[in-house]
Amino acid sequence: MILKNLDNINSENFPVAIFGSGPAGISTALELERKNIKCLLIEAGDENYSEASQEFYKGKVIGDPVTDLSSSRLRQFGGTSGHWGGWSKPMEKYNFDLWPLNASDLNIYLKRTCEILNINNQFRKSSLNEFFNQVEFQYSTVGFADKFKNHINKSNNIFLVLNTQLSHFVGSNNNTDYAVCISNSVIKKIRAKYFVLACGGIENSRILLWTRKQNQGFIDNELPIGKYWMNHPWILGGKGIISKKKLKKKMKNNFLEYDGIIHFAAKKELIIKKKILSAAIYIGPEENAKIYKEIIKDILCVAPEYGKKIARMVFKKDLKCGNIFMHLEEDQTENNKIVLDVKKDKFGIPLVKLFYKKSNYSLKTAKLFLEEFGNLCRKDDLGRIAIEESIYNLESFEHLGAYHHIGGTRMGLDKFDSVINKDLKVHNVNNLYINGSSNFVTTGYTNPTFTIIQFALRLADKIYERLHT
């Protein structure tokens, strides 16, 4: 059922209250519904986008620029899935080396995650050499509001309440007693057995920081809330040409191409050898003839005979040619962090300040990855790449932005370097859970939405177990 406000709702009838109706919140609610558990799903925004609502997401960035904090996320039903890119893939096994759980803990939910995203559950991978894999992403066109609106409206177990802002939680004796919300400009208390905070990679930290300030002693002061925040850089790495014919031959026809795009990802062996972070590149689709001409012209100037060869290959449509884009991981530092600003929104909740500096480690990763890949292409005559000059200078190293806000309530074994445990429960609080990209320990090179949904399904299982023990 979808309701405009809390006026006709008695929250005590619901064992679970979920805050945030993006992929994390909706996926958790859907899985609880499958287990016949009623939940209250609370969204701060309305059913559709409004500029007035987005004002609540404004914030200040101190340091290096990142994608605008307001435009990069959506305060509405469906959350930021209203403009997500759709690229979907599980994280690599090695991405979990620093996490308190393994990829296998999440991959049992792979099939169900793919059902939610309307994608195939087969993610192929082919070895290029000892350092690189060719990997396959899949593209989801699912907007969570569009896909699940009718389902939720007809549901007897999911009650979606719009236009209701979560302010903070109130608790005592290691237990959350209620959530303070504002609906129709009236303060309401939401009570439940279990609470799930699923408001995104900025807002999760904001709400938890405000909770700690409003309710001294409830949330442990030693928890590093807001710290270890990470961007998810997407950059232009250069231009490249790859012979598909030679690549297929080298890979013994295990060649992967999706919608005209080919991806190459670092194996763990390269990460260890070069001491870099997780990274991947993609080439294509062929954008236009202009890029071909520019690349061939450059090659002809320095290597005329090879340039002629390339021109013939273009004519035969053998080449994959275009810009090389990179997905990069960022390292974890507590200096990149979210704090509360003195400036508040109209409900009296502080806006955020984000302290952020670009990572030398990410720059090093981009440089060494591209150089190693370029050496391989040259050695095996698979093609050639030209690396962007910006890759060699931190000042000019520009993130194109991926709208992915990672960290701030990260997962771990204890309260000194993490906020939640492996079951997504806040340390030393019995009934408060957090889900979303804010929980990630590392980013990997993949987009976070797929992993967020896997965690949502796992969280529903954990809550179900606790309700029935």
Instruction: Tell me: do 104 and 48 sit in the same domain.
Output: no
For residues 378-390, average pLDDT: 89
Please tell me the distance from the alpha carbon of residue 27 to that of residue 449, in angstroms, as a whole number: 11
Which residues on neighbouring strands pair with residue 178, listed in sequence order? 170
Give the confidence band of 289 by pLDDT, cuts at 50, 70, 90: very low
- pLDDT attached to residue 287: 52
The domain containing residue 92 runs over which residues? Answer: 87-141+234-329+359-398
Strands 279-283 and 319-328: antiparallel
Same structural domain, 129 and 278: yes
Say whether both 448 and 308 belong to one domain.
no
80-128 pLDDT tens trace: 887 788 889 999 999 999 999 999 999 999 999 999 999 998 898 999 9
- List pLDDT tens digits, range 229-276: 998 888 889 988 888 888 888 888 788 877 778 899 999 999 999 999
pLDDT, tens digit, 9 for 90 and up, residues 423-456: 999 999 999 999 999 999 998 999 999 999 999 9
Q: Residue 393: what pLDDT? A: 83
Q: Picking from 160-174, 366-380, 385-399, which range would have the lowest pLDDT averaged per residue? A: 385-399
Are 265 and 148 found together in one domain? no
* pLDDT tier, 404 (very low <50, low <70, confident <90, very high otherwise): confident
Q: What is the pLDDT of residue 395?
A: 79
Q: Are residues 349 and 365 in the same domain?
A: no
276 and 226 both lie in a single domain: no
Q: Tell me: do 12 and 106 sit in the same domain.
A: no
Cα–Cα–Cα angle for 181, 182, 187, nearest 5°? 85
Partners of 179 in the β-ladder: 169, 190
Supply the CATH number for residue 165's domain.
3.50.50.60
Under the banding of pLDDT at 50, 70 and 90, the label for residue 291 is low
